[in-house]
Each structure stands twice: as structure tokens, then as C-alpha cells.
Structure 1
């Protein structure tokens, strides 16, 4: 009986734990709405003029999952796409597993995150969104199969790949949506409205309302997480290939980054197959760039293109955040070439606000950092007291305390387009008390001291008043 069940499991999921269904288009076309996407469209975004950049005026990134470079390279679809742009042969994820890579791609760090658990980063974690908005660069993210704006968990729905199945399938995962993880975005209604689904994507493209900075996350089968490179190749043929010829998506001022979050082999350097596509690189079709890049390069390159500031984190670390070389040549930016290639496949628990066993507050940005955009370090108007001073790691688990970064803030988007915070004080660690004080910059600083007579820890966040 046990052997029979094991054989059935292997047949359904494969040895690696992946499913092996045949690809089926979730919609009639990539700019068609579909009930398979679950979430209704919310109407198009307002059409905003593009801010001219030094190398492009629109940047689109598409994220795929957990595939070794050589595996993607063997795909005829990826090879065909490579002939249409620049193949980056030394582009790397920043760690393992998936979630910290997604967070790093917009926040410049992964804050001690070492797994795919539930995290909600406090409001004093700034992101690329802050930098974009300061320069009026419009933005949005499109998350396939996210059921509605403001949804903060994972979502299972009817399996559109197997309509006869009565078992719901989890197509959407929170861990692949860094925008909902960062409270500086999720707690602001106007920003939450820009965390959109694929029905919204169809409406926005057709209305010529696609923003200047776009982040696209396919669902768990279309991104190869639960499937394989053959499946994701079929999805790219359905989704991306036609869009390359759609002027509302791609024109001569558009740069498209197609990348994977991490490789499959944790023992090797975390190099992932990555392409630069779009009209912005039409003069470089079929070329190869061996410059060392990481996910932080997508931050620094955008900052360089629009003359933005920096988050003062790894986005300003020139060793791991080289600007795309074709762009650096245009902007006279000099990338730093290190004698030693940093290892990007390291795993383990590093100190951070997400590390319950080695917890520290959100550290301040490096105020002296100079990013590729040349602008100042973003501090939301605060030049001091940016984070708590205590940076000695504390083991909250051994203390029997709950890490606030693991508590769902339960931000709920209402039909009136307002937002309420459904979190009550009872959801905070019961052994903590809250004391707040107003800073001269007009921000609230929250510190939660433990009631231990021998150990005092500070859990700090800076909230907009």
C-alpha cells in the first residue's frame, strides 16, 4: 500500500516535487482578461507621461523560478529570446531560497531572511518605490492569480490546468510578491492599488497605461516553480514573445529584464540565466555580457538611468551592484571590477529583523553611500535616529518571544478605496509593552521592550504619523 502511494506521488509530482502538467494558456492572449486569473480587473491606471531616462524610459522585469543556468540555456525558447537581446552570463541571485531574493530586488537587502516563511517588514524599510516616486516615475507590479488588491496570504483556486480536479491549486504565493511584504508599500492605499493582478495587466496594456517601472510575477506553474523549463518556455511563447511586438508593452525606449530568482543547485554559484530585451537594446541583439551582476544591479541600473537616489544598502555596493554595461557605456558610469567574485550561494541565518534566532532592528542605511544614480540616500526626511541603536543579535526564540516581523499586519483594502489596519494589540508579543515617542521629524518611533528583568531588547520601527 505504501509503495503504491509512493508511486502515485512520484507520478503526479515527479521526483523533484514538481508537477508535470501540460501548459495551457490561462487566457486567450497575454492582453486578454480571464476568469482563470481569479481577481477581477480594477480598471486601468491613469496614463502618466514617461520620465525620460538616460538609456530607456520604461523598465520591465519578469521573474521566473529556481532554474540552473545550463537548464535554461538548453531551451530553444530561451536561445531564441537570447538572439533578440543581450545574454547576461554572470548574473546572480543574492542568496537562497526564493523570498529573500524577491525582497532584495526592491529593498536592497534581505534583512536576515533565510527561508520562505511569512514576513512583514516594518515601515522603516525603504524600497525602490520611494526612489521612483520622488522623481515621478510611475510604477506597478502585476502578480498572476492574486485574488484581489490588498490580499496578504497565499491563494488556492480551481485548477484551470485540470478542470476535472476538485482539489484547489495554490497558484499564487505571497513570498513571490515583495511589495506586499514591505509595509512601507502595503500600508499606503495609493501604493497598495499598484499591486495588481494579470487582469489589471491586460487592461493597463490595452489602455496604454502601463507604467514606466514594471515588476511581473507569473504564477507557480508559469514561473517554473512547480513545473520545469519546458513549461515556462511554453508560457514565454504565449506571453512574452507576442508582447515584444506590442507597442503598448515594448517600444524603442523599453528595457526588459527576464531573470530567475535563484538557481536550483545550492552548491554552485547562484548564477541564473538572464536576458536584457526590448527596443532599448535593439542594437545589441545576439550579444553576450559577462559582467558580474546580481539582483542588486536591477536597482542600481534603474537608479543610474533616472538619476535617482539610493537606499544606502546593497544597491550602493559597487561590488555587487554593477550597472548594465550597455547602459554604463551610455551614461559614462564606471563599474567596479573585483579581483574576487563574491559568493552568492551562501545560506544560513544572518542577523536581521527577520532572523528570530539572531534578531536585530532594521539597521540604518549607509548615509555616506553614493549610488549609481548620484542622488542622496533616502531617509524619508530623517537624518538621525533612523533605526534603534541596539545591534547585538538576540535570540527571540529562546526568549519565548514572537518576532513582530512574522505577524500579519492584516491591512485590508475596502471598497471605498480606504485602508484599515485590522491588527489589534493582542496580536503583538504578549510579553511586550509599547512605548512611543514623536521625533522632531514628525515620525513615530516604536520600541517594544521585553518585560524580562535581565534582558532588554528593542524592536523598533519608524511609522509615518
Structure 2
């Protein structure tokens, strides 16, 4: 009986020791797991949106050498999609997390509905929309030559002041003077709506390559995006992130305008608005 008790005690002790080892190993395993990735707190984000081209018209195309060169420096999304058709509701979705019932290119006044600009203003941050070929700063007209308000989402919202609606000629060459978030809209030729792909490609290189290279070493980000494809039900678009903290490569998760909006919001600690609230920020592209 005595030896049986000793054996039982030994087994119990061994089991306890094993349990302690397992427990210790589990603790160590938990301790070395990396924290969940977060969107970096960028100093500046610039988003530029082009028009009406299928993903395959840009990706790998000899007509878009700069788009592809730029994407090779950053994160290229191989499954990025527009929200709808036609153009304007895509711009509004990117800016405000919802199309707000807009289903045409007719000029819209959407009042004080929440959007990324109003969110930023609410925490003391800045937003400016820059539109190429707009006749004057603060302009609210619908069309003028190569300018189309349907591509400038911020003009439709009463809580975005006229001072945040600027011509692209006002885009600063000293990038430290950029707002925290800037949306850039090329005109109807430069954005490829009325002109060829190589026109937009050359415009992007001429006007935003300097910022893209600067952003890499200045805690800033460039997002290059399209509103929609050529009108198909697939609506796949070319999208890339280039700048600081970006881990270059191709990424195959499905993203859309709401995903991108949610990511920009997360960079400034903002909650998602409307449909962006149902999306997770894009986190796997950061290093």
C-alpha cells in the first residue's frame, strides 16, 4: 500500500509538472504572438481617382507603364471593385460611405451628411479636395469645359466649406503643407474619361510621382484608384497604395471604395461611417 501511494504521488507530481510545462509553453506562445496589425497613423494621405477603365486595361498594359511601375513599388490589389455605375455614386461612396441614393451624374446637394471631411474637421484635422480645370476655388457649378462636378464628391456636401474646394493648381509643391487628407480629381481628359489611357498615365507621373516618392520617407501615403470599370457587372478596378510603411506586393483580398474609406478613417482613429462601418480596415499591407 505504501509503495502504491508513492507511485500515485509520483504520477500526480509528474502530471502537475507536465501541466506546468504545458501551461508555461502556452503562455510563452501567447506572449510571442504579434499584435494585430493596425493602419499606420499617417501624416498625409492623398487619394487620386481615375475614370472608367477595366482592371485589365491598366494592369500590365504597355499603355500604362507608370501605373504599373508605381504599383510595383507598393501594394497592388488584384481584386478591387467599384461600388456601382455610373460615375458619381462611386465618388460619393468613397467620400461618405454610401451613395445616399444617388444613381445618376446629375448635380447633387446632399446637405450635411457625414463624410470623411466632416469627420476630420471634428477632430481638428484637415481635408482639401483638389480638382483640375475647375474654373475657380470654391466653384459649385456643374460643368465647365473639361471640369465636371460629378467627379468632385466633396462639393455636394454642405458641411465641407468652400475653402476646402480648390483647383489642382493649388496643390502644394511643399508636401508638408498638404492637408491631412487630400482627394485629387484630374479633369475629363487627364482622368481618361474622354482621353486615352496613356494620357492619364503621363498625367499621374508628371503630377504625383514626386509626392509618391516623398511619401515613402515622410510617413505619408498615396492611394491611386478608379471610380468604376467600363460599365460591366464585374466592376473590377485598378487600385494601389504607395508610401511609408507599405509592404510591396500583390494582394488578393476583395476590397472596394468602402474598404479604402474605412482604412483612411482608421489612420486617424475615426470610426467607420455608413457602409464603411461594416468593413474592416486594410491591415495586411503594412510593414
TM-score relative to the length of structure 1: 0.50
Tell me which of 127, 135, 138 is aligned to 1:147: 135
Relative to structure 1, is the Cα distance of residues 304 and 207 closer, same or farther in structure 2, using a 3 angstrom cutoff? closer
Does structure 1 residue 315 correspond to structure 2 residue 285?
Answer: no
Tell me which of 231, 243, 249 is aligned to 1:265: 231
Partner of 2:114: 126
Partner of 1:171: 146
- Please list every run of 5 or more consecutive structure 2 residues that lacks an aligned counterpart in the other structure: 1-38
Shift of 1:305: 1.8
More helix by share: 2
Which secondary structure state, in structure 1, belongs to the residue aligned with residue 177 of structure 2? coil
Q: Contact 1:56 / 1:280 at 8 angstroms: preserved in 2?
A: no
Tell me which of 215, 224, 230 is aligned to 2:192: 224
Q: Contact 2:53 / 2:226 at 8 angstroms: preserved in 1?
A: yes
Output one character per residue of 1:209-260: Cα deviation in whole Å (capped at 9) or x when no partner: 1111111111111110101212111212222223333x4x663411111010
In 2, Cα distance between equivalents of 1:181 and 1:325: 30
Partner of 1:300: 262
Output one character per residue of 1:399-435: Cα deviation in whole Å (capped at 9) or x when no partner: xxxxxxxxxxxxxxxxxxxxxxxxxxxxxxxxxxxxx
Q: Contact 1:147 / 1:155 at 8 angstroms: preserved in 2?
A: no
Partner of 1:162: none
Q: Choose 1 or 2 for highest CA Rg.
A: 2
Which secondary structure state, in structure 2, belongs to the residue aligned with residue 106 of structure 1? helix
- Matches for 1:18-167 after TM superposition, within 5 Å: 54-73=40-59, 74=61, 75-123=64-112, 125-156=113-144
Which secondary structure state, in structure 1, belongs to the residue aligned with residue 76 of structure 2? strand
Relative to structure 1, is the Cα distance of residues 307 and 103 closer, same or farther in structure 2, using a 3 angstrom cutoff? same
Does structure 1 residue 325 correspond to structure 2 residue 283?
Answer: yes
Shift of 1:99: 0.3
Partner of 1:355: none
- Matches for 1:411-422 after TM superposition, within 5 Å: none
Which secondary structure state, in structure 2, belongs to the residue aligned with residue 236 of structure 1? helix
Output one character per residue of 1:24-69: Cα deviation in whole Å (capped at 9) or x when no partner: xxxxxxxxxxxxxxxxxxxxxxxxxxxxx73422211011000000
Q: Contact 2:85 / 2:231 at 8 angstroms: preserved in 1?
A: no
In 2, Cα distance between equivalents of 1:252 and 1:206: 12
Shift of 1:87: 0.5
Shift of 1:207: 7.2
Relative to structure 1, is the Cα distance of residues 155 and 117 closer, same or farther in structure 2, using a 3 angstrom cutoff? closer
In 2, Cα distance between equivalents of 1:55 and 1:207: 17
In 2, Cα distance between equivalents of 1:232 and 1:299: 23
Shift of 1:119: 1.1
Partner of 1:213: 181
Tell me which of 167, 170, 180 is aligned to 1:197: 167
Relative to structure 1, is the Cα distance of residues 147 and 317 closer, same or farther in structure 2, using a 3 angstrom cutoff? same
Which one is further off, 302-311 or 93-102? 302-311
Which secondary structure state, in structure 1, belongs to the residue aligned with residue 150 of structure 2? helix
In 2, Cα distance between equivalents of 1:155 and 1:122: 20
Count of equivalent residues = 246
In 2, Cα distance between equivalents of 1:323 and 1:309: 10
In 2, Cα distance between equivalents of 1:141 and 1:251: 24
RMSD: 1.9
In 1, Cα distance between equivalents of 2:49 and 2:203: 13
Which secondary structure state, in structure 2, belongs to the residue aligned with residue 296 of structure 1? helix
Shift of 1:179: 0.9
Relative to structure 1, is the Cα distance of residues 209 and 117 closer, same or farther in structure 2, using a 3 angstrom cutoff? same
